[in-house]
């Protein structure tokens, strides 16, 4: 989804210029320092963002005594469902939290958007830009000026209004904050942060079994290896080397990737291995994750290298060797792209608690979906992530004194996605799940309750505690193929040569005959004339076609269950305001709990079925009608507003510090009726 050249360009542009000029300090360049003056009255706002924290689940745990700190906070102030955005997706809702704007203002309407000229899916959170100036020496191309990753979220972050007034703001892991925003006092990038190869997360899997096949795998690479006298030799794929002219080889798709070799020695008697990689030796038992390993990918001698961190898991030694490697994360102590502000903050944290996941969504859901990881192996990874995130919380919390403290946890979202079927006995794939992990989601909520217990003693007249989530959760047992439905109902037309294909891609669509198409989890675009590259829908026909689509989609019935997969179709112009609104989908399809748009349809594809079983481990979701998956809101101060929204929270936090509502924000204070 992204160009994987420019992160590496950013790395080496920085190091190359430091070598030329001796670094900013040596060159006499000014260093930006953030304001850390205390707020005038010493007030504190402590905001915990627990992604996907579902109000029904947390209330059930409160009622049974398993979430005593949540209950104490609710009794101290308020506990209410929190209205979310449409779509009820993390980058959309958290962008509204950050800016106080609807998607029409901040510009993030889904994980996936589309290029209106080509119709191709694109990542919505950030994009890479090419350098403005390069120094070309033969096959070597050194970026000198400009280029690199750019955050696509528009609008001013609410914490910038605080730091401008001298109020400190610590912002840890908030989504859609890559490259990390420099308006906070201290910040760590969150959801949207890529791995080192500039993907949303690409694992590596090594197997000696020639009959293991993953023809449609995404989110990782499979490498077939040989075991010779209990020795395996292979390599870790790093970033594409954008500093040299691309290879002309078509035989090796990874010819341009920088590689790090490693050797695995299998114990002939025990279920254990030794891994040697770049001078480091690891000894691992079967089923055990390694600690973080720092790896350096050399791009050019002396001038450039990229540092990453990776963990290994030995899945099996015999009869076939199987080894898994996590996506290579950007090393927080030696950053290839901006993941902390200030940059040295990452090294400070790593020195105190060790290396940590920097990839925006840390858990490897793709490896789990494709059964490279099983339930137990996924949960072991989830445990590592949870404990690491708690260590990060303690590190930040122990150093915070006043101003804003925001801390985000992704586990409550990612693990609910992947382990919902283990907990939900009505899920179609419950019988295939591992019963040992049926209680994992409630356990996670109990761990969040521990964090709440740590911040509660800070509450006083000058301290506000808010706990919020961007949405709730529901079962995802059956999938609705939106583009297949559009095709079968005359809204989307395929090219004649593609009409007989069992599955088609976005490139198979005949745009001169197409009225509407789906891209993203909830987006339904009209093929609008003068906006889309080959648009045919006149502006005068938008209302008519939108009304017909709304009526027909809401009437669809699942012949297997009798349920309606589409609960509500939302009209964009009734919900969004802002300059970006006209570029966004005219309709937002809100699914019924139990249903979701299919992964293939998210990318504009069609298939044979309109509705069928969800085949993935990803079994819980929230891309349903927003009114059916509200988030959670806890406040240490009484909430006066009857139906608070995530759009209200930045207004309320600023008001607490005595700052008037900025013009860009559309919400209102939750502390006023």
Domain 32-108+153-193+360-473+629-673, CATH 3.40.720.10 — does that match?
Answer: yes
543 in helix, strand or coil?
helix
The CA-based angle 146-148-152, given to 5 degrees, is 110
Residues of the chain within CATH 3.40.720.10 domain(s) are 32-108+153-193+360-473+629-673
Cβ atoms of 148 and 9 within 8 Å: the answer is yes
The pLDDT value given to residue 141: 66
Give the length of the chain.
Answer: 673
Higher pLDDT pick, 539 / 241: 539
Residues 134-138, mean pLDDT to the nearest whole number: 67
Residues 250-274, mean pLDDT to the nearest whole number: 90
Residue 529 has pLDDT above 50, yes or no: yes
Residue 42 has pLDDT above 80, yes or no: yes
Phi and psi at residue 317, in whole multiples of 5°?
A: -105, -40
> Closest by alpha carbon to 512, among 531, 535, 543?
535
Which tokens belong to 547? 């009304």
Residue 10 — pLDDT band, cuts 50, 70, 90? very low
- 172-225: per-residue pLDDT in tens? 999 999 999 999 999 999 999 999 988 888 999 999 999 999 988 999 999 999
Residue 555 has pLDDT above 90, yes or no: yes
Share of the chain above pLDDT 70, in %: 90
| Calpha distance 441→422 (Å, rounded) | 9
* Greatest Cα-to-Cα distance within the chain, rounded to the nearest angstrom: 75
DSSP 647: G
- 582-615: per-residue pLDDT in tens? 999 999 999 999 999 999 999 999 999 999 999 9
User: Could you write out the DSSP letters of every residue in 513-538?
Assistant: G-SEEE-SSSEEEE-BTTTSTT--B-
Residue 25 has pLDDT above 70, yes or no: no
Average pLDDT, the chain: 92
Cβ atoms of 142 and 135 within 8 Å: the answer is yes
The pLDDT value given to residue 87: 98
Residue 39 — pLDDT band, cuts 50, 70, 90? very low
The structure's pTM equals 0.92
């Amino acid at each position: 989804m992204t160009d994987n050249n420019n992160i590496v360009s950013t790395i080496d542009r920085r190091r190359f210029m430091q070598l030329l000029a001796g670094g900013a300090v040596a060159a006499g360049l000014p260093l930006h320092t953030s304001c850390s003056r205390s707020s005038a009255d010493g007030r504190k706002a402590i905001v915990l963002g627990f992604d996907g924290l579902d109000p029904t689940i947390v209330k059930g745990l409160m009622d049974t005594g398993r979430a005593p700190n949540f209950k104490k906070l609710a009794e101290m102030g308020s506990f209410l469902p929190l209205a979310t955005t449409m779509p009820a997706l993390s980058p959309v809702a958290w962008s509204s939290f950050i800016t106080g704007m609807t998607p029409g203002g901040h510009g993030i309407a889904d994980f996936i958007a589309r290029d209106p000229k080509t119709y191709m899916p694109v990542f919505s959170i950030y994009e890479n830009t090419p350098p403005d100036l390069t120094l070309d020496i033969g096959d070597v191309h050194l970026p000198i000026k400009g280029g690199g990753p750019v955050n696509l979220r528009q609008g001013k972050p609410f914490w910038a209004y605080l730091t401008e007034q001298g109020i400190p703001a610590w912002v840890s892991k908030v989504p859609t904050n890559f490259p990390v925003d420099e308006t906070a006092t201290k910040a760590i990038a969150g959801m949207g942060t890529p791995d080192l190869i500039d993907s949303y997360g690409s694992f590596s899997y090594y197997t000696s079994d020639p009959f293991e096949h993953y023809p449609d795998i995404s989110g990782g690479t499979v490498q077939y290896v040989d075991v010779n006298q209990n020795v395996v030799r292979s390599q870790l794929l790093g970033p594409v080397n954008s500093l040299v002219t691309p290879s002309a080889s078509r035989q090796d798709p990874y010819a341009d990737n920088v590689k790090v070799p490693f050797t695995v020695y299998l114990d002939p008697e025990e279920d254990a291995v030794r891994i040697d990689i770049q001078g480091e030796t690891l000894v691992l038992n079967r089923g055990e994750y390694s600690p973080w390993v720092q790896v350096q990918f050399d791009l050019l001698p002396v001038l450039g290298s990229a540092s990453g961190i990776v963990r290994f898991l030995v899945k099996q030694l015999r009869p076939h060797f199987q080894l898994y490697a996590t996506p290579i994360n950007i090393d927080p102590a030696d950053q290839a792209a901006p993941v902390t502000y200030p940059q040295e903050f990452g090294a400070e944290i790593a020195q105190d608690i060790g290396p940590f996941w920097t990839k925006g969504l840390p858990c490897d859901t793709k490896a789990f979906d494709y059964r490279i990881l099983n339930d137990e192996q996924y949960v072991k990874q989830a445990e590592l992530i949870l404990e690491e995130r708690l260590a990060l919380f303690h590190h930040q919390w122990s150093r915070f004194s006043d101003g804003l403290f925001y801390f985000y946890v992704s586990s409550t979202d990612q693990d609910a996605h992947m382990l919902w079927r283990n907990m939900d006995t009505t899920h179609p794939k419950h019988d295939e799940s591992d019963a040992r992990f049926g209680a994992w989601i409630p356990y996670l909520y109990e761990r969040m309750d521990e964090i709440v217990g740590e911040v509660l003693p800070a509450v006083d007249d000058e301290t506000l505690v808010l706990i919020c989530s961007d949405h709730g959760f529901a079962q995802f047992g059956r999938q609705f193929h939106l583009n297949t439905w559009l095709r079968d109902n005359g809204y989307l037309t395929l090219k004649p040569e593609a009409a007989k294909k069992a599955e088609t891609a976005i490139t198979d669509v005949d745009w001169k005959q197409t009225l509407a198409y789906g891209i993203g989890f909830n987006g339904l675009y009209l093929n609008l004339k003068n906006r889309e590259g080959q648009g045919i829908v006149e502006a005068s026909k938008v209302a008519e076609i939108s009304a017909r689509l709304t009526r027909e989609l809401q009437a669809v019935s699942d012949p297997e269950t009798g349920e309606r997969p589409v609960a509500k179709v939302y009209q964009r112009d009734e919900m969004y305001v802002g300059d970006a609104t006209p570029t966004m989908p005219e309709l937002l399809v809100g699914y019924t709990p139990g249903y979701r748009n299919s992964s293939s349809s998210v990318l504009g594809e069609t298939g044979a079925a309109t509705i069928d079983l969800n085949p993935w481990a990803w079994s819980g979701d929230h891309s349903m009608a927003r009114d059916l998956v509200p988030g959670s809101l806890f406040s240490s101060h009484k909430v006066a507003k009857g139906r608070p929204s995530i759009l209200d929270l930045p207004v309320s936090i600023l008001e607490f510090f005595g700052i008037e509502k900025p013009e860009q924000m559309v919400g209102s204070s939750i502390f006023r009726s």
